[in-house]
Amino acid sequence: MAHKKAGGSTSNGRDSIAKRRGVKRSGGQVVSAGEVLIRQKGFWYRPGANTHVGKDWTIHASVDGQVRFSEKRVVKFSGKREHCTMVHIEPVKA
């Protein structure tokens, strides 16, 4: 009689951990310099004025201020024209 021994639990331990990506600060919110605005994979959102991008495409605020989103028309490498969302920081008036 054929037996299949020691199969184990094959369905366990295969789920990857969540990356917690997405928009962290919405438009109109006040942020401080260095705060994470958006975590993303690739260039879904583009950096605008007073923001910078980390090596994993995370957009950070460069100065203290208020978050603002805008849209801009860009030409892709393939020649296709699309709209992209840009993130800006408007500095606080001192």
* Rounded CA separation 70/91 (Å): 16
Q: Is residue 40 part of a domain?
A: yes
For residue 32, pLDDT over 90 is answered with yes
Give residue-wise pLDDT tens across range 47-91.
999 999 999 999 999 999 999 999 999 898 999 999 999 999 999
Is 64 among the domain residues? yes
Which CATH number fits the domain that encloses residue 77? 2.40.50.100
CB 38 within 8 A of CB 60: no
Does a structural domain hold residue 1? no
pTM over 0.75: yes
The per-residue pLDDT for 7 is 64
Residue 35 within any structural domain of the chain = yes
Q: How far is residue 88's CA from residue 70's CA, in Å, rounded to a whole number?
A: 8
Q: Is residue 29 part of a domain?
A: yes
Q: Which domain holds residue 45?
A: 22-91
Residue 71 lies in a domain: yes
How many separate domains does the chain show? Answer: 1
Residue 18 is given by DSSP the state P
Residue 4 has pLDDT above 90, yes or no: no
